Structure 1
Amino acid sequence: MTNIAFIGTGYVADYYMRTLENYPDLRLIGAWDRDQNRLKVFCSFYKVRSYNNLHEVLNDENVDIVVNLTTPESHFIINKAAIDANKHVYCEKPLALSVEDAKLLVSLAEEKGVIICGAPANALSNAFNLTKHQINKGQIGRPTLVYAEMEDGPVFMANWQKWRSRSGAPWPGAHEFEVGCTLEHAGYALTWLIGLFGPVSHVSAFSALTFPDKGKETRNVQLAPDFSVGCLVFHNGVVARLTCGLAAPRDRSMTILGEKGEIIVRDLWDNRSPINLSKRYERSFWQKVVDGIESRLGRRLPFRLYKGKELSYPSTQQAPKLPAYPSQIDFMAGIQKQAEAIQSGQTPFFSGQVILHMTEVLLAIHSGKHDYTVETRFHYYL
């Protein structure tokens, strides 16, 4: 049994609680939040112990892993305090808001002999494993080019002020717009990209605030970019384009082009996303039919057909319990992997130098770095 404690009981904490049910060897023994009202509601809803302060959490000898679910500007200070207290740490993205701070955390964790891991956990999904298996089998030949989309749609135009989590936490829209689309969402694609293709060598990026008016709740807030595009070159030669945004229609797909075919993952937020494999770039029968109709009509039809064959998941693979659409991610999977690594003395993939590398790439895209050489690197073994 591995004991964990939450720091932060806001909106995302409910996603973790929903997927905690998947792992009976993980036990949440308490939580703390600087918002005492929110802490009281969360702990009452889930029948969880509430700590009086951060110091009490860090001095609890029963806590094995501190799960940092605070807002990004608090990540570094909470992570450092936990490591200083000789606690293993699992942190929501990003690890820190500067590469220097992230390096310090990883170095300190190595010195203390504790493991620091980072979210998101969607690259531990059934969909990721199925995709990687197809690539390793050589189904599309050598991968060369990837298009990754992380568009969340124009959420600022929705009625987000009334959105509530399972236990009643409000969705922190104004703060999300202040943090920006890249820090909030690029990690969901980067975990896949780095997990599939290893470390990134160069980044060229651009970011912009394209919709500066996001409602009265944000009038006194300094808003971050709501659009970014990063072109990544990997050490193994793969080239990828990652687009993030808060305005274009929702699209969380990934298209992987190889020398002999392509793979399309329809939704990186779906643990068992539909995945299409197309060999030799052939068109399906129905795609040929639709292409013929469109040629005769002289216009595109208002729907999309995916090329190739939709892959099947192993029938023996049990589907975990997940949050409702669109966040169908097993959020606790990363903590489970960390717990297993602690027990076995191994190093989980999304920890240490890997999460530091991902943080550097993430911050480079967020800052719109041009022709940026990524300094950090890791031994690729996933």
Structure 2
Amino acid sequence: MREAFAALFGAEPTGVWSAPGRVNLIGEHTDYNGGLALPFGIDRRTRVAVRLRDDDAVRVASGFAQGDGVIATRLDRALDAQGWSRYVLGAAHVLRRELGVEGTGFDALVASDVPVGVGVSSSAALESAVLVALVELWGLDADAHALIRIGQLVENEVVGAPTGTLDQSAVLLARRDHAVLLDFAAGSAEQVPLGFEAAGLEILVIDSLVRHDHATGGYGDRRRECEEAARIAGVGTLREIAPEAVEGWAARMPAAVHRRMRHVVTDTARAAQVAALVRAGRPREIGPILTDGHRSQRDDFEDSVPAIDAAVEVAVAAGALGARLTGGGFGGAAIALVDVAESTRIQAEVADAVEAAGHARPTVFAVHASQGARRDPEPAP
């Protein structure tokens, strides 16, 4: 990246900052409903090499969108950005606005091995890498929790995706072999040791190749349905509904709205269950809970797609301890909890079986819980 940056911009970058993608182990669409979620950062990262300028010009380029060349603008024109550059320039714009700083222009080169549109939070990884870089370079006082809120504002206001703070929280707070138990009602985050390495387990990501866009897809519809369920139930968020009370609302709201409520409430309960099991050193027991979570997304939240359903079914049949849709849904990826010793075989069997069922051949790869957003170490001399 340093060589490529120098070739593009005529000087070495000041540094390289990175942020991981994320996998959500359990707890989907719970963030904007005040529930619980249990995500972790993965060992695929987005990196951004940055050097400040002495004017207000901004030049950005990307290794994954080489046809765009260098995109040049000014700080005060950041909101004119299109495509992937919205995440870079939008992060700079919202950071300046929220912290009340002028900042200076910068040159940035982005490179990433976080898959885009898969449900592993490529956008939050890019935003967060840019934010931690600019906070350091501009000499700002902003901790991870401030940047979580700023990243959400980038998604909501600049990109137009009505997302909560799950992705930014996972990306900015992640630790190796840990998940982060996020309580969106309390605003708390607890580091929970996963114990996957010691137990000989790993997570497979099964990319269905069905792409989604939270700014234009069904995500917003589901959020509105959750808000309707809360309004009918007379609560601020669905977190206030106890699991045992869910069925009592069935006759008092539209059937689809009730199903959305049931998913959110039960997935919060599943997140608490999974966190308790891994905290107690029993990670092998979480598999059936993951699979139950998929059934809830497929049948109650209705944000799965046939290729994802097939991937979950064949993964469990091939020996996965559990599997489920991960991320916002309407495409993207499934995850499967597998024994490391069986991982290679299960990866091949899942890809073969999903393709044989008439879907695109999925890309399947293992991920491991990794560190959150940071400045990367300098290269050895």
TM range (shorter): under 0.3
TM-score by length of 1: 0.25
Higher relative contact order (CA 8 A, sep 6+): 2
- Bigger helix fraction: 2
